[in-house]
Amino acid sequence: MRREDLLDNLGFADVPADVADATAIMAPGALRGAARGHDLDSLTRTLFLRIYPVIAAVVLLTQAGIAWVNYTDQIRLYTDRANILASLTASAIARPGWERAPEIFGPQLQALARDPAFRYAALRDGAGTLLGSAGERPQGRDWNRVQVSATLDAAGDRSGNLTLVLSAEALRDNAERQALLALGTSLVLMLAFVATLNRTVRRHVVAPLKRLLVAMRKVEHKRWTTVDLGGAYRPSNEIDAISQAFNSMVEGLQSGDEAKRLLQALEQAHAQLETANRQVIESIGYARRIQASVLPERTALGGSVALAVLYQPLHLVGGDYYWLEEIDGLSVIVVADCTGHGVPGAFLTLIVATALDRLLHERGLRSPAAILAGLDAMVRAQLRQDGRGAESDDGLDCGICVWDPAGRSLLFAGAGLSLTAIRDGAVAQVRGGRRGLGYPRTGREALPEADTPVAVEPGTTFYLMTDGVTDQMGGAPGERPRLMGQRGVAERLLARADDDLDAQLAGLEQDLAAYRGSQPRRDDMTLVAFRLP
């Protein structure tokens, strides 16, 4: 942005050098809208409407919970008390021949009636015949009373049953009083809260903001004034900090020279940033050339395998990597998706390239599963994620295919990546393991222990791709963006299955761009397509 454009956007006007009056350095209306008729009292109402229902609900629920706990405890105590009374009375009555001796059980039943909560007691013999009772048979709802039973068992005689009913109306009345008390307490608390909130917000928020708005109105009309903080400036108070910044701005506008000096410093900082940015871009561009030199030639497999590659880093360098090599009569195809993208991902690709070179040439590994296991151990060791106190949690997803033309066998092993095959209008997928490589061990999921043989038939095309290809966000205009996914990519490849591989990938690239529309790409994209003779 040029200095003149910056001045215009900030609301400043050019001041001639011979003009001593600093009132012309701000264009009229620069603060318009910030200090016009805002109802600051609505802030209090907003806070009240947002906070009050929550506080009220919490207080009411708490009081209701306490009342309910008290009520249930009292009911339990009443029940225990009734059980004790019934058991003691039953023990006192249970003598040989008690059912024929009213002089035994009559006084016991009458003694129960002395309990203030007593309502009814009934004594029955073993056949269920009512022998005696006290009080009136209870009527009404069950929750207004507590009813228990005790068994009479005298040696040599038939057992009987004593039923005792105590009233719980006192408990219910007490619970209602507690509920009313809770409601009254809640109302008192809410009234106190509203009064305190209103007073606090008006004093500490609304009043300072009004002073700030008044000062802004004056500054808008070129009457330079500052906000009076009353000698009580508190850096931790946001409104005080804003007022202090406003005062500093006004002082800068009055001086004029200070504003120009700040603009000059901004221009210098902009020039320094531009230089630094150019140096960074040049460095990353050189890193791109280094990464491109590490990537294999796309003709590395010679004419034994028809092959095409789509490789598009999200930035100048990327975290995707592929390996193509013909060794010992075998064709090795590797696709890796390292953690992240850009420069961090590019560093990981160099580690992966070094590890693959050692595994294939120094150790002589030819099994895809064995190569994955070795790559996992070497990456973890290189990143010190093998138990030596590393702070990183990085790794990669990888898929490896090894083609043996002599035995016409194709072996596959994957860690986080799958192999897609298309033949005769059908799509098949050979899934790899879910666990990636190089990450710290968790013990929850192991790498593939054996290679997966893949049937090779004439005309079959195989695809190894990173999730940057499938994770395309887009869709029809006006609809909510959605992920294309494995199925969407497979459908587009299937539609071009009769084309040669280069044309397939070029068409797929166009389809992906059309699907994204205005949505940006999210990750590096790498896809290796090969067709075996």
Predicted confidence at residue 469, as pLDDT, reads 93
Sign of the dihedral through C-alpha 260, 264, 267, 273: negative
3-state secondary structure of 125: coil
**Alpha carbon distance 338, 158 (integer Å):** 85
- Residue pair 218/37 in contact by the 8 Å Cβ criterion: no
3-state secondary structure 233-293: CCCCCHHHHHHHHHHHHHHHHHHCHHHHHHHHHHHHHHHHHHHHHHHHHHHHHHHHHHHHH
Tell me the residue type at 269.
Answer: A
* Nearest 10 degrees: Cα torsion 422, 524, 447, 388: 170
Phi and psi at 80, nearest 5°, equal -60, -40
Q: Where in 297-451 does DSSP place strands (E)?
A: 306-312, 320-327, 330-338, 396-404, 409-415, 419-423, 426-430
Helix (H) or strand (E) holding 454: strand 452-454
Helix (H) or strand (E) holding 452: strand 452-454
Sign of the dihedral through C-alpha 479, 483, 487, 489: positive
Q: Which pLDDT tens digit goes with each residue over 101-155? A: 777 777 877 887 788 878 788 888 777 788 788 877 777 666 677 888 888 876 5
CA-closest candidate to residue 522, choices 443, 446, 461, 468: 468
Predicted confidence at residue 324, as pLDDT, reads 94
Residue pLDDT tens, the chain, 533 long: 454 554 454 444 444 444 344 344 444 444 444 444 445 556 666 766 777 777 777 877 887 788 778 878 888 887 888 888 888 887 877 777 777 777 777 787 788 778 887 878 888 877 778 878 887 777 766 667 788 888 887 655 557 888 888 877 777 777 777 778 877 877 887 788 777 877 777 776 777 777 777 777 777 676 777 777 666 666 666 677 777 677 777 766 666 656 677 778 888 888 888 888 888 888 787 778 888 888 898 888 877 789 999 999 988 888 999 999 999 999 999 999 998 878 888 889 999 999 999 999 999 999 999 999 999 999 988 888 866 556 678 899 999 999 999 889 999 999 999 999 999 889 999 998 888 898 887 666 577 888 999 999 888 999 999 999 999 898 878 788 889 999 999 999 999 998 999 999 999 999 999 999 888 888 999 999 999 88
Tokens encoding 301 = 């497999």
**Alpha carbon distance 280, 282 (integer Å):** 5
Predicted confidence at residue 14, as pLDDT, reads 45
CA-closest candidate to residue 99, choices 163, 150, 148, 152: 152
**Alpha carbon distance 77, 149 (integer Å):** 16
Q: Place domain 295-531 in its CATH homologous superfamily.
A: PPM-type phosphatase domain (3.60.40.10)
**Alpha carbon distance 191, 210 (integer Å):** 26
Tell me the residue type at 342.
Answer: G
pTM, rounded to two decimals: 0.51
| Residue spans per domain, the chain | 42-222, 295-531
Angle between helices 257-294 and 3-10 (to 10 degrees): 120
Contacts (Cβ under 8 Å, ≥6 apart) of 134: 109, 110, 112, 113, 118, 120, 121
**Alpha carbon distance 50, 34 (integer Å):** 25
- Residue pair 468/522 in contact by the 8 Å Cβ criterion: yes
